[in-house]
Structure 1
Amino acid sequence: MIKTADVREWRDRKVVDREGHKIGVLEAVYVDTTTDEPAMATVRTGLPTRHRLLFVPLDEATAGPDYLKVPYAKSLVGKAPSIGTDDILPAGQEAAIFQHYGLAYQPGAAGERQLARR
């Protein structure tokens, strides 16, 4: 598992899929608010004038010297919910991200968000 202390080192690393195909560049890391452990990352993709940020889970991700490898296919990540590079993740969109990857979504007892950007 990747440690929270390493988060600052990940920004601007290449993000590659399980086959080593480049998906994009790591923009930000979102932690699970209940554990404070890395849960999702946003990956900057697209043309220089039309970037968008795709969400990808960090479970089973591995860090290399200049890349972060996620265990998902590039095609799946490419269809994931996204936001603009200057946008924030709306609370109502969190569940859709987890659903896209077939993961359970569990908001806090009082409806708190599950993800927080670091």
Structure 2
Amino acid sequence: MFEAEDIRKWRGHDVVDPEGHKIGVLEAIYVDTVTDQPSFATVTVGLPTRHRLVFVPLGDATVGPGYVKVVHDKKQVKDAPSIDTDGELPAEDEKSVFAHYGLAYRAGVGGERCLARR
């Protein structure tokens, strides 16, 4: 996994699937509040007049010149839970993002949110 400060430099770069198909553009990084490691990214997708942000896990992602390659295919990412481009993910919706990718969800020790935007 790459360091959190490194991945922040990739904001605005393409996000591609394992086959190299462009999914969208990296908008923000969300870190796991327990480990403070990059966990998810939001990707801008949609038509120019109807953009939205979808969530994609960063586990096993790789970076290259001008792109971040994720391990999930384009269709699965585009079908992921989304928010408006100026929206925020409500805490109660975090579980659905994890479930979409078949990942286990665990809130923080005190019940706090699992993901925080950085």
Place the TM-score, normalised by the shorter chain, in its bin. Answer: over 0.9
- Which residue of the partner structure matches residue 62 of structure 2? 62
Which amino acid is the alignment partner of residue 13 of structure 2? R
- Which residue of the partner structure matches residue 114 of structure 1? 114
Which amino acid is the alignment partner of residue 35 of structure 1? T
Q: What pairs up with 1:1-118 in 2 under 5 angstroms?
A: 1-118=1-118
CA deviations over 1:53-80 (Å, ceiling 9, x no partner): 0000000000001100000010111110
Q: What is the CA distance between 1:10 and its match in structure 2?
A: 1.1
Structure 1: gaps spanning 5 or more residues: none
Q: Distance in 2 between matches of 1:55 and 1:8?
A: 16
Equivalences, count: 118
TM-score (norm 1): 0.98
Q: What is the CA distance between 1:7 and its match in structure 2?
A: 2.7
Structure 2: gaps spanning 5 or more residues: none
After the TM superposition, list the runs of 4 or more consecutive aligned residues in structure 1 that deviate by more than 6 angstroms. Answer: none
TM-score (norm 2): 0.98
Q: Distance in 2 between matches of 1:93 and 1:10?
A: 26
Over the residues paired in the alignment, what is the CA RMSD in angstroms? 0.7
Identity %: 63
